[in-house]
Amino acid sequence: MNKRLIWALAAAISVCTLALIYVQLNWIFSIRKAEKVNFEQNIRFALDNAVADIDEAVKWNPSIQEQLLSGIIIHSYDLPIQERISIEEINDFLQKECQRHHLKNISYEFAVTNNASGEIIFSTKGFKDVDPMQAHIVALFPRDPDYVTQYSLLFYEYAGSIIRTSIWLLIGASILLTLIIIALFTSNLLIIFKQKQLTEIKNDFVNNITHELKTPITTISLAAQILNDPHTSIKEEKWPYLHQTILFETKRLQFLVEKVLQIAIFERKKFKLKYQEVDIVDLLSKITGFFTLQLENNNIKIITDFKEKGTKVWADETHLTNVFTNLVDNAIKYRKEQDAWIKITTTNHTNKVIITVEDNGIGIHKKNQKKIFTKFFREPTGNIHTVKGFGLGLNYVKQMIETLRGSIQIESTPEIGTQFFVTLPIMKETNKEES
């Protein structure tokens, strides 16, 4: 999958996600609007029923009935409003009707006013702090004749109660699901880019290993054909050279195959280290000796500065040799054409030894320094095989050093050089016991 297609897919998913968010917001606002309309209707029904209940309660009030029968009054509306109904009774009727119309948890204030004078006859404590223009208004005694004093009930509910808890739960669930979708989309996009990068690295690895394996196979095949051809014009004194070439290329081929297998075995944890005392200075001296001919042929100067001889570590000598062989080999591969040098130093710090492998080669770009220990990764140079390798060496180095309870860091500047700092614990008696 190419990058353009990935970005197109990302753009399409982003548009779909934004569309989903837009639909959800519209849905939420539509539900809120419908809920508000339903709420207003329930308020109106509750108030109408409460007023009807109040009117009926006043009509059959025993005290008022007694006065009517005794002739003290002719009609109930002849009494002052305070004798007909109390604020507590009004509140009881309002609460009863609110519960009947699923308005149990709302907060409200109310007042009773004289329509003619606008005087507030009685009200709840909080009514003075609300805007009467925002209140619902109903006639308190709708069956009273027009020529008597008319009263109104003003009812105000707080705006916070308009959206009920269920709506907030829907909004919260919608937001949570949207965030989950965005998180999943982002993680999938990162995985796609990571897989694409891994595919490119593996393809580069396949190209490199194919080239590396073809070279010794071709050389061996050519030398064998020459030796096997009875009509060859090669003189007999050249035969040892051909034998040596076949032997060298066979060992080289074996080394390449073992290197790949070694990484596979290491990754699956199917290996067993043979721990022993290893003199780090002696080990490094042997390694520099291995590379003497190669260093001379490439005009590379080797510098060693071993501070304290006799420093020993508890490690597998073969694997530790491979570690520093890889580091020196990389320094040779990525050298400069002129005045190249490699410097190896050791420094002891209390219970650890720091081995520095430094060169003045082409260096590594900062953005690639974190990736340099990743399996198959190589500093991007296209498919040009001027520098051979699989991108396995430094991955092996890091894993082995960490297995030996050490650490490795890198400092590098392009066109100036690279430093690898390998830290290993100095051997103690406890190292033997723990191994």
Per-residue HEC secondary structure of 183-218 comes to HHHHHHHHHHHHHHHHHHHHHHHHHHHHHHHHHHHH
Torsion of CA 334, 339, 344, 345, to 10 degrees: -140
First CA to last CA distance, the chain: 47
Calculate the average pLDDT of the chain: 82
Strands, sheet with 417-425, edge to edge from the N-terminal-most edge strand: 300-306, 340-349, 352-359, 417-425, 407-413
Weakest mean pLDDT among 128-137, 159-168, 247-256:
159-168
Is it the case that residue 382 has pLDDT exceeding 50? no
Q: Give the pLDDT band of residue 297 (cuts 50, 70, 90).
A: confident
Q: Give the pLDDT band of residue 32 (cuts 50, 70, 90).
A: confident
* Domain limits, the chain: 3-163, 167-267, 275-434
- Please tell me which residue, 76 or 216, carries the higher pLDDT value: 76
Q: Give the pLDDT band of residue 224 (cuts 50, 70, 90).
A: confident
Average pLDDT over every residue of 139-168: 78
> Please, what sign has the CA dihedral across residues 251, 256, 257, 259?
positive
Average pLDDT over every residue of 119-145: 89
Q: Give the pLDDT band of residue 309 (cuts 50, 70, 90).
A: confident
Cα–Cα distance for residue pair 325/287, rounded to 1 Å: 7
Q: What does pTM read for this prediction?
A: 0.49
69-114 residue pLDDT tens: 888 888 888 889 988 999 999 999 999 998 888 887 788 899 999 9
- The token pair that represents 422 in the structure block: 């390998």
Residue 103 CB neighbours (<10 A): 20
Strands, sheet with 136-139, edge to edge from the N-terminal-most edge strand: 120-123, 108-114, 151-157, 136-139
Report the pLDDT value the prediction gives residue 232, as an integer from 0 to 100.
63
Report the pLDDT value the prediction gives residue 1, as an integer from 0 to 100.
56
Cα–Cα distance for residue pair 165/143, rounded to 1 Å: 38
Is it the case that residue 387 has pLDDT exceeding 60? no
Report the pLDDT value the prediction gives residue 271, as an integer from 0 to 100.
64
CATH number for domain 167-267, candidates 3.40.109.10, 1.10.287.130, 2.60.210.10, 1.10.10.10: 1.10.287.130
CATH number for domain 275-434, candidates 3.40.1190.20, 3.30.565.10, 3.40.718.10, 3.30.365.10: 3.30.565.10
Is it the case that residue 164 has pLDDT exceeding 60? no
